[in-house]
């Protein structure tokens, strides 16, 4: 699967619909998108792997983005060419462990961040900016949340201090860092799309309303030995699951 396809479709939607600049900047980064998947036995269902560095807020935001895109597509009468994607109840780590740098603080998974060394903690997050609403479920609703209309400066004034507290960062710290360090190979959690169907829960997949892992459910390093063992996950029984991804099936 070409990761650029997922990024491009999301970015096109964000630009056309004039989403906040902080959203567009984030979506433009290829490393924020979870497109590392396992094909189903019949080639029609794809299980979402977990990104080690992406936060629960970010996970929810991208699920909401895909929902908004799917709704727009349906309203326009566009025939969907999206793949069916389901989220397993037991996380399957992504092999994509090189986290992108310089993104808003609340993009990064807290446990992943805490496992970094001091230099990396100053190198990875953009400590001067945040991107998501405190309740990411309120993102990208049909009736836009009023704070989503704020400029980046106004948004940071509203929410940055609280994120600093969560990440245990002092506002007096020197945020400027010269040079770069190697990325840590840590695993945490990812979430993206919900699945539908009465049998999904029994088969080990999330159903609507249970589409995300908590940040404290999955520690760095967990499940790393299961990458290869679970690469042949049986997803044939969830072929009717609803997709919220905007990935385009290659011809």
Q: Is residue 246 part of a domain?
A: no
Give residue-wise pLDDT tens across range 235-246. Answer: 444 433 333 343
Q: What is the pLDDT of residue 233?
A: 38
pLDDT over 90 (residue 197)? no
Q: Specify burial of residue 95 (Cβ count, 10 A radius: 0-12, 13-18, 19+).
A: exposed
- Expressed as residue numbers, the domain containing 120 is 3-238
Q: What is the pLDDT of residue 76?
A: 86
Q: Is the pTM for the entire model greater than 0.95? A: no
Q: Is residue 40 part of a domain?
A: yes
SS3 248: strand
Give residue-wise pLDDT tens across range 34-93. Answer: 866 777 666 667 888 889 999 999 999 998 999 999 999 888 888 777 777 788 888 888
Q: Is residue 248 part of a domain?
A: no
Q: Is residue 243 part of a domain?
A: no
CB within 8 A of 46, min separation 6: which ones?
37, 38, 39, 40, 83, 84, 85, 86, 235
As a whole number, mean pLDDT of residues 207-224 equals: 48
Domain count, the chain: 1
The span from the CA of 144 to the CA of 193, in Å, is 21
């Amino acid at each position: 699967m070409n990761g650029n396809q997922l990024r491009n479709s999301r970015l096109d939607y964000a630009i056309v619909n004039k989403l906040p600049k902080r959203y567009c900047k984030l979506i433009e980064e290829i490393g924020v998108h979870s497109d590392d998947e396992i094909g189903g036995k019949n080639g029609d269902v794809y299980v979402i792997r977990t990104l080690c560095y992406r936060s629960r807020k970010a996970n929810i935001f991208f699920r909401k983005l895909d929902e908004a895109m799917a709704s727009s597509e349906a309203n326009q009468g566009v025939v969907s060419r999206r793949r069916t994607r389901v989220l397993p109840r037991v996380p399957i780590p992504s092999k994509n462990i090189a986290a992108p740098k310089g993104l808003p603080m609340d993009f990064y998974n807290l446990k992943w961040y805490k496992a970094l060394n001091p230099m990396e903690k100053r190198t990875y997050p953009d400590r001067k900016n945040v991107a998501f609403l405190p309740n990411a479920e309120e993102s990208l609703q049909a009736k836009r949340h009023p704070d989503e209309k704020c400029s980046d400066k106004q948004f940071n004034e509203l929410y940055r201090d609280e994120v600093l507290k969560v990440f245990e960062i002092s506002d007096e710290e020197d945020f400027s860092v010269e040079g770069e360090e190697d990325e840590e190979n840590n695993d945490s959690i990812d979430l993206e799309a919900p699945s539908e169907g009465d049998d999904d829960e029994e088969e080990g997949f999330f159903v609507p309303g249970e589409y995300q892992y908590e940040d404290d459910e999955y520690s760095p390093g967990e499940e790393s030995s299961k990458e290869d063992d679970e690469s042949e996950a049986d997803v044939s029984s969830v072929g009717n699951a609803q997709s919220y991804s905007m990935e385009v099936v290659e011809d």
